[in-house]
Amino acid sequence: MAQAKAIEAPPVEGGNNATDRCPMIDFVNLVSGKWAIPILYRLIVTGCPIRFGELQRAVAPITQKELTRQLRLFEHRGLVYRKVYAEMPPRVEYEITPMGRTLRGTLDSLADWMRVNASHLIT
């Protein structure tokens, strides 16, 4: 699957130079991808460590490869913790970080908006 291309940011209205960025462009780039928001939201609402297989079932039908890719990206960005237990078979758990938890209100409002408006959207 092709990696999503970063969206070019237009100057912010009223800004005086091209380095003024629209924060929504950065947010969309942070959570871009079909599975990004469902993964983050599941980690947030779970509120505790979750094993890889349980997370994969919760956001099905995501592939193992795509879930791994997204979780690594979120870990790199500081939104998700990954803990590996030295046991056989290996056990890995994922948990949202405190910074990731700050997305709760934003994602809750998006979910609420969708519940209210889904039946009115043209598909």
What CATH number has the domain bearing residue 28? Answer: 1.10.10.10
**What integer pLDDT is reported at residue 62 of this predicted model?**
96
Q: Check if the beta carbon of residue 37 is closer than 8 Å to that of residue 31.
A: yes
Q: Where are the alpha helices (DSSP H) in the chain?
A: 23-30, 36-46, 52-58, 64-76, 98-101, 104-117
Is 67 a member of any domain? yes
The boundaries of the domain holding residue 72 are: 23-120
Least reliable range by pLDDT among 21-25, 50-54, 103-107, 117-121: 21-25
Is 109 a member of any domain? yes
Is 11 a member of any domain? no
Per-residue burial over 77-115, b = 16 or more CB atoms within 10 Å of its CB, e = otherwise: eebbbeeeeeeeeeeebbbbeeebeebeeebeeeeeeee
Entry pTM: 0.77
